[in-house]
Amino acid sequence: MSVIQIAHNAVDAKLIGADRRAELFVQKLLSYQVQGAETVTAFKQGHWDGRSSFYEMRHKRFPAGFVFLVQQRLTKLGYTVQIVRKPLPPPLGPEKPVFDEFAYSNPDYDYQLETANRLVKHGRMIAQIATGGGKSRVAQIATARILRPTLFLTTRSVLMYQMRDHFERMLKGLAEHHPELAHLKDYHVGVIGDGHYEPRRFVNVGMVQTFAHRLKEPDPLKSNEEQRQQAEIRQKTLRLLEMFEFVILEEAHEASGDSYYEIMAACKNAHYRLALTATPFMKEDEEANKRLMACSGPIGIKVTEKTLIDKGILARPYFKFLTPDKPPGLFKSTPWPRCYEIGVVNSAPRNAMIIREALRAVKHNLAVLILVARQSHGKILEKAMKDNGIRCEFIFGESDQLTRQRMLNRLANGAIQVLIGSTILDVGVDVPAIGMIIIASAGKAEVQFRQRIGRGLRRKKSGPNVAFIVDFIDGHNNILMRHSMQRRAIIQSTPGFAENILIGNQDFDFSGFS
């Protein structure tokens, strides 16, 4: 077998010395089924198999995130593979950066510093860390260790602002604990998103949507002056992205979209890339899953729910599935979305079960979080809760950040007993006071379902370190039943969850609570 070299920079990789067999192998390895291929004439006529590839045969080129995968597979095929690249820029921060009193006193959290160490060694990786494992802290440790021009990317403004505050506190803490970094004490983090364009030369937080908008090609239908302005904005943004040497992708399972991909391709000097997600490669779109690796490289560390539960970092969840009676007008064949309106939103039997479980929890002083998908459903449940004497509030997509935080604080301090929320609570929520989660929303999306369970798994400050999760088997409609089974299958397939599904007449054990 011949020797193959893979030369790469931060964005692109190239095969050198590969024979035809190796090239065809890599092309197939990096191929994917094109969504919508079945509508293309060439596919219909049998002239195209509906697949494309990230490997460009003409230029022998592919995204640098695939380097490790390609090297590994070609080696297994019998080739000698050599990697050719410039050395990674050396990290400029302390080997064990200290920026608060937490430091590294608890060995249960060793994986957080280990993630930064692996990133320094490999340059790019996905950190698959289960919800509740402290991904924001991992981002801070990695940034403090590398200490080069950094961009934290997210799709949500609330996370952007949270991380701005985290990074500013981290930099101030570094200055206090490491005298050589005293100049960072009053540093302000740049913000690029949500109507702000205030980049800084060191650490920045930004939104994917803002960068994608600024990277748009000039619109030929616009006036010459408007096109000139668009071109100027695009060039200015490209120069900014070239400045960053470290990029962090928060909730990186979303990085499969075109916008993320284009942004990361423009980060030509970002030799350090860290993707943070609990749920990589869970898209149904094969191309989307490969784009995540193209941007960020392979999984470099995996911290599971079971690991965090066994360490006590997460509360131990107990799952109860309830089967409500059939509401009037719902049949096996009732189509979507009518089956959802009848069988979920307006189902009196189902909503009564939600009220009953919430009442049982608040009697034992457990804070309850009820998660819904529709605003109308939240309002129905809010009224029913208050009619039953429960102190309850409902926040939804239109609620601003301050309102959301105020309600979460009220739940944590006992001012309210039940908080009902929509998708606004799916990410960036840390309320250790939550004792029961009621999944009132139904649905089948795995990423969202795991995030919603994670809202209740933060370590409890007092009492048993457990969380009670209520879900439903909606068995009176084919669609709702299928979704229910998919959710249950997720629990059954997850170590740390599967062991704690209540069956038969089993019920939650409230004996440890006052």
Pick the CATH number of 3-84 from 2.40.10.10, 3.30.780.20, 2.60.40.10, 1.20.1290.10: 3.30.780.20
Average pLDDT of the chain?
A: 92
CATH 3.90.1580.10 fits 314-500, yes or no: no
CB 154 within 8 A of CB 205: yes
Q: Indicate whether 398 pLDDT > 80.
A: no
Q: Give the number of other CB atoms < 10 A from CB of residue 134.
A: 19
Residues carrying CATH 3.40.50.300, the chain: 107-303, 314-500
> Edge to edge, what strands does the sheet with 272-277 contain?
196-198, 190-193, 203-207, 150-154, 246-249, 272-277, 124-129, 299-303
Q: 339-354, pLDDT tens digit by residue? A: 999 999 999 999 999 9
pLDDT at 425: 63
Q: Indicate whether 323 pLDDT > 70.
A: yes
Q: Indicate whether 281 pLDDT > 60.
A: yes
Q: 192-232, pLDDT tens digit by residue? A: 999 999 999 899 999 999 999 999 999 999 999 999 999 99
Name the residue among 446, 403, 445, 452 with its Cα closest to residue 427.
Answer: 452
Give me 461's structure tokens.
């400050």
b/e sequence 390-400, b meaning 16+ C-beta within 10 Å: bebbbbbeebe
pLDDT at 406: 84
Which of 172-186, 360-374, 419-433 bottoms out in mean pLDDT, i.e. has the lowest? 419-433
Alpha carbons within 13 A on the beta-carbon side of 274: 32
CB 368 within 8 A of CB 419: yes
Domain 107-303 is classified in which CATH homologous superfamily? P-loop containing nucleotide triphosphate hydrolases (3.40.50.300)
Name the residue among 391, 360, 322, 356 with its Cα closest to residue 510.
Answer: 360
Q: Give the number of other CB atoms < 10 A from CB of residue 90.
A: 8
Give CA–CA dist 274/152, Å, rounded.
Answer: 10
Give CA–CA dist 79/72, Å, rounded.
Answer: 10
pLDDT at 422: 83
Alpha carbons within 13 A on the beta-carbon side of 255: 33
Name the residue among 249, 275, 290, 316 with its Cα closest to residue 63.
Answer: 290
pLDDT at 427: 58
pLDDT at 430: 56
Comparison of pLDDT for 388 and 428, the residue scoring more? 388
pLDDT at 455: 80
Give CA–CA dist 133/345, Å, rounded.
Answer: 33
Q: Give the number of other CB atoms < 10 A from CB of residue 324.
A: 20
Q: 145-160, pLDDT tens digit by residue? A: 999 999 999 988 888 9
Q: Give the number of other CB atoms < 10 A from CB of residue 286.
A: 15
pLDDT at 41: 87
Which of 45-54, 78-87, 252-261, 477-486 bottoms out in mean pLDDT, i.e. has the lowest? 252-261
Q: Indicate whether 292 pLDDT > 70.
A: yes
* Overall pTM > 0.75: yes
Residues carrying CATH 3.30.780.20, the chain: 3-84
Give CA–CA dist 400/290, Å, rounded.
Answer: 35
Q: Point out which residues pair with 371 in neighbouring strands.
A: 421, 439
- For residue 431, count CB atoms less than 10 angstroms from its CB and return exposed for 0-12, middle for 13-18, buried for 19 or more: middle
Q: Indicate whether 399 pLDDT > 70.
A: no
C-alpha dihedral, 492 to 494 to 499 to 503, nearest 10°: -20
pLDDT at 104: 84
> Percentage of residues in the chain with pLDDT exceeding 90?
76
CB 431 within 8 A of CB 437: no
Comparison of pLDDT for 9 and 103, the residue scoring more? 9
Give me 154's structure tokens.
């997210």
Tracing tokens 């024979």 back to the chain, one arrives at 19
Q: Give the number of other CB atoms < 10 A from CB of residue 214.
A: 19
Q: How confident is the model at residue 458 (pLDDT cuts 50, 70, 90)?
A: confident
